[in-house]
Structure 1
Amino acid sequence: MPKVAFASFMGTVIEFYDFGIFGTAAALVFAHAFFPALGTYAGTVVAFATLGVAFVARPFGSILFGHFGDRLGRKRTLISTMCLMGTATVIIGLLPTAATAGVVAPILLIVLRVAQGLAAGGEWAGAALFTSENAPSDRRGFWSMFTNLGGAVANILALSTFFVTGLFMSNEAFIAWGWRVPFLLSIVLVTVGLYARFKLEESPIFANEVKRRGRSSLPFKDALANQWREILLGAGALVSSFAFGYIGIAYLINYGTATLHLSQHGVLAAGIFGNVVNGLAMISGAILSDRIGRRPVLLIVNMIGIPWALVLFPLLDTESPVAFWIGITVSFLIAGHGWGVCGSFLSELFHTRYRFTAAGLAYSLAAILGGGVPPLVAASIIGSQGGFVFGIFLAGYCLVGLACTVVLRETRSRALDELPPDIGFARADNN
């Protein structure tokens, strides 16, 4: 299990490093580099819209790569997602800006961001299933957590790369060309990741399913026909974790520098610390889920998220650096506990024949609703209505997550190779 978990962890570190540096760049430089004609405010909104484009693409990536993951296996599909992500990321680092290429530059940026979204849509489910389908049932939550832990480490690497790059050059040089360095460094990480993935063996549960029942001819169709409600409810249960996480990963970096006028280095340092807390919270959430169940952890996450959503921006608007560190840290503490559960939770929710497709689709829907929409909405609402109004919006996400979690059943004791007919929903006599 340590070898399996490490391979999935390292692959996700590399994939989501590539995915995450775009969010940091969007917060710091893309408005100037690719949308200068729109001005600072509108340029920032559009820069976050390009961030959201990838979240729109993620469900399509889940369907595309899920099809091959459920038909051809997890290993080959994961190698394909990494190649696509790495290629798109390196090309972004080589793109001309609007000053030299005009409208072509932002168009190419959006196309490459779509490619990143497709790859990310296929990446998470494959990596999570590799660990969950190999893990012992009593520690499935812990081992499945390593996929999302890789995402937290990737965010730390992405923020650290920008932090170090900005530390050793002037702000003008960073905006002119320094932001490209993290994208170009991706080629080294992808080489390491591909080596790790070529060493993997196929998931035994998937291999046994193929021997016993054959392959699904159209996994997407089977998933929707049999478990469309679980796909929607599984996504809904996780949407608040994504909302708090991506507000911390992307929007607050911009908010801290552009609105609160805190130093860029201080804001990036707070983001790095927040992601350390994020990783520790994932470990905590996973261990708790093995002891008390996936559902109780998600219920707690969504309940705590409601008051915190209302407090967050009034706290930040004090313009205190300490308040900023507290705001980003608590947001990641909430998000991390939810993310620590989702690998095992979504794996246990779906049948093996279409698990790659269904789990990836649920995760991607949570990502687009929770990760793509709030940073974009925040950029629009806070400027005109204030932070508290956006807090009400975030609290609504938590209420949705709470309702979806209440409807779903506990999955902790479920065997991944045998699922009962009443797979998805809670009963009065069974949690």
Structure 2
Amino acid sequence: MVLGRNEANKVIDSPATEQRTQVRRAAFASAIGTTIEWYDFFLYNTAAALIFPQLFFPASSSYAGAMQSFATYAVGFAARPVGAAIFGYWGDRIGRKATLVITLLLMGLASALVGLLPGAASIGIAAPIVLVVLRLVQGIAIGGEWSGSVLLAMEWGDQRRRGLLGSFAQIGVPVGLVLGTGGMTLLSAVLSDAAFDSWGWRIPFLLSFVLVGIGLVIRLRIMETPMFAAIVAKQQTSRSPVVDAIKHHWREILLSAGLRFSEQMPFYLFTSYVLVYVVAEHHYSRTFVLNAVLVAAALELVTIPLFSQLSDRIGRKRVYLSGAVLTGLLAFPYFAVLKAGGYVPIFLIVIASMIGHAMQYGPQAAFIGESFPTHLRYGGAGLGYQLASVFAGGPAPLLATWLLQVTGTPYSISAYILLAVVVTVLCAVLITDRSRADIADYATYARRS
């Protein structure tokens, strides 16, 4: 095992000053790691909407090219549960820190290679095939990243502030979106369309090399979490943590997945599919739409920790359900505004759509992480979180494109969002809220409310 008993005891017995230092480092490492990985992931999302249909599927019609591009986008989501299982095993066997270093390297390498990949005009069918392979690697890395990043902060800090501490990993999503989308927006604004489509879009992908180096320096300075260190010291790690998580906590895994439907599925419509709908259907400039998404993501830098801290005070379930309901209330007005048009209304509705997301996404890390005991938490939380990707996040832009084509109205997509909200509300009602429980105590998981 990577973490020995001597290191475990050293972590547990650290003085208060060292504890505070490690808490700050863990929170920062949690945020910086997910920022880098989501930066890479959102670069792909933006490129899938704006660049990849023409570059990798040039022989297809506009509709078919969008469908094929979003299909490669969905592949990454299908790979996430695989990554959650692979890295969940190692995260609950050898520790959070070592596992997170590997996921960061995988994600950065795959993204940088996307930036170097020739188009179909140069290497033919090999181009989309390699693209799919790299997308699979991205998905596997993201699948193993999330739960480890959350636990790195959650298991180090003040247990009365688990919601806020867990949200540091969640903040990586809007920061990554700001950096990734911001980079694309800047290049789209300063370069000609021909230059951007030819080589400009590749620059943000290649910058992944630099960001990964920064992330590795930070993560290598973090010690293992005290909760996992205590499990190692007592020799209570599981031989088959993922299998045990499925066997003993299948209910929590399924409810955690359902919990994410009204958060994840609309989010990818609001940040990725909106680029196709507003630009292709209503002919607004892609720079305008990217700017709207950019401002909305920047707003989440404030709202995610705000709602996470609120969940520490009034409970995860209350905040989460409020966010799900708000998302449902915006489903039809969102597409009504996009359909009616107007720069100011579209800008405002894109920003408003992210408030309901932040109300769910902020507390979500602790909500899901608290549902599993320490020795099974990496794998259990990861599986629950990433399983939603197969049914909610991954297919969302693909199904939205198909629904609009078949029905001719964007309100079919609104109905799709409402269905996701219903699933989430049911799961949120059924899952146990452990926001005030002792998650280091095995007895906590022997009781269900």
Which TM-score applies when normalising by structure 1? 0.96
Paired AA for residue 47 in structure 1: S
Report the Cα distance in structure 2 between the residues aligned to 1:184 and 1:191, rounded to whole angstroms: 12
Alpha-carbon distance in 1 for matches of 2:54, 2:142? 26
Aligned equivalent of 2:246: 224
Classify 1:52/1:234 alpha carbon distance in 2 versus 1 (closer, same or farther; 3 Å).
Answer: same
Q: Distance in 2 between matches of 1:193 and 1:421?
A: 34
Q: Residue in 2 aligned with 1:418?
A: 441
Q: Residues 129-144 of structure 1 correspond to what in structure 2 (within 5 A)?
A: 129-144=151-166
Equivalent position SS for 1:350: coil
Match of 1:285 among 307, 320, 333: 307
Q: Return 350-359 or 323-332, whichever deviates more.
A: 323-332
Q: 1:423 to 1:238 in 2, by over 3 A?
A: farther
Task: Spell out the pairing of 1:141-180 with structure 2 (5 A cutoff).
Answer: 141-180=163-202
Q: CA deviation at 1:310?
A: 2.3
* Contact 1:230 1:424 (C-alpha < 8 Å) held by counterparts: no
In structure 2, the residue matched to 1:429 is none
Residue 327 of structure 1: aligned partner: 349
- Equivalent residues of 2:323, 2:358 under 8 A apart: no
What letter corresponds to residue 394 of structure 1 in structure 2?
A: I
Question: Which segment drifts farther, 66-75 or 243-252?
Answer: 243-252
Select 2:233's aligned residue among 201, 206, 211: 211
8 A contact 1:148–1:340 mirrored in 2: yes
- Asked if 1:20 corresponds to 2:28, the answer is no
CA contact (8 A) 1:244 1:334 kept: no
Separation (CA, whole Å) in 1 of partners of 2:229 and 2:390: 31
Change (3 A) 1:87 1:311: same
2:134 counterpart of 1:112: yes
The yes-or-no answer on 1:408 pairing with 2:441 is no
**1:424 CA drift (Å):** 7.4
Q: Map residues 365-384 of structure 1 onto 2, 5 A cutoff.
A: 365-384=387-406
| Corresponding residue number in structure 1 for 2:319 | 297
Separation in 2, partners of 1:422, 1:214? 15
CA distance in 1, matches of 2:385, 2:305: 19
Q: 1:5 to 1:304 in 2, by over 3 A?
A: same
Is 1:397 aligned to 2:420, yes or no? yes
Distance in 2 between residues matched to 1:389 and 1:195, nearest whole Å: 47
Q: Distance in 2 between matches of 1:279 and 1:255?
A: 26
Match of 1:261 in 2: 283
CA contact (8 A) 2:322 2:359 kept: no
Count of equivalent residues: 426
Question: Which AA in structure 2 matches 1:409?
Answer: T
How far residue 383 of structure 1 moved from its aligned partner, in angstroms, is 2.5
Flag as ranges the 4+ runs of structure 1 deviating above 6 A.
none
User: Are the aligned partners of 1:133 and 1:416 in contact in 2 as well (CA < 8 Å)?
Assistant: no
Q: 1: distance between equivalents of 2:150 and 2:163?
A: 11
Q: Residue 273 of structure 1 corresponds to which residue in structure 2?
A: 295
Instruction: Report the counterpart of residue 122 of structure 2 in structure 1.
Output: 100
The answer (yes or no) to whether the contact 1:347–1:416 under 8 Å persists in 2 is no
- Inter-partner Cα distance in structure 1 for 2:446 and 2:295: 39
CA distance in 2, matches of 1:425, 1:388: 39
Q: For the structure 1 residues 291 and 421, does the alpha-carbon distance in structure 2 shift closer, same or farther, using more than 3 Å as the test?
A: closer
Identity of aligned residues (%): 37
Q: 1:340 aligns with which of 341, 357, 362?
A: 362
Q: Distance in 2 between matches of 1:273 and 1:46?
A: 29
Determine if the alignment matches structure 1 residue 202 to structure 2 residue 224.
Answer: yes
- AA aligned opposite 1:326: L
Whole-Å separation in 1 of the counterparts to 2:445 and 2:101: 34
Partner of 1:420, secondary structure, is helix
TM-score (norm 2): 0.93
2:261–2:424: 8 Å Cα contact kept in structure 1? yes
TM-aligned CA deviation for residue 422 of structure 1: 5.5
Q: Distance in 1 between matches of 2:344 and 2:447?
A: 43
**Equivalent position amino acid for 2:251 in 1:** R
- When structure 1 is superposed on structure 2, of 256-265 and 75-84 the one drifting more is 256-265
Q: Who is 2:31 aligned against?
A: 9
Pick one of 103, 107, 110 that aligns with 1:85: 107
Q: Superposition pairs for residues 25-64 of structure 1, below 5 Å? A: 25-64=47-86
Partner amino acid, structure 2, of 1:296: R
Deviates more, 1:235-244 or 1:151-160: 235-244
Instruction: Encode CA deviations 1:205-247: one digit per residue, 9 max, x unaligned.
Output: 0010122243211111100111001101011112211112111
Stretch of structure 1 that moved more, 165-174 or 220-229 = 165-174
Structure-1 separation of matches of 2:446 and 2:194: 56
CA positional deviation for 1:141: 0.6
Q: C-alpha separation between the residues in 1 aligned to 2:32 and 2:59?
A: 39
Describe how 1:239-258 pairs up with structure 2 within 5 A. Answer: 239-258=261-280
How many angstroms does 1:346 deviate by?
A: 1.3
1:421 Cα deviation from its structure 2 partner: 6.1
Residue identity opposite 2:273 in structure 1: Y
Q: Which secondary structure does the structure 1 equivalent of 2:395 belong to?
A: helix
Please state how far the C-alpha of 1:425 moved relative to its aligned partner: 4.7
In the alignment, what sits opposite 2:8?
none
The superposition leaves residues 114-153 of structure 1 with CA deviations (integer Å, 9 ceiling, x where unpaired) of 0000000000110000011112121111111010101110
Contact 1:241 1:335 in 2 (8 A): yes
Q: Determine the C-alpha separation between the residues in 2 that align with 1:21 and 1:269.
A: 15
Change (3 A) 1:124 1:422: closer
CA distance in 2, matches of 1:102, 1:3: 46
Is residue 382 of structure 2 the alignment partner of residue 360 of structure 1? yes
Query: Which residue identity does 1:177 align to in structure 2?
Result: W
Q: What is the alpha-carbon distance in structure 1 between the residues aligned to residue 99 and residue 374 of structure 2? A: 16
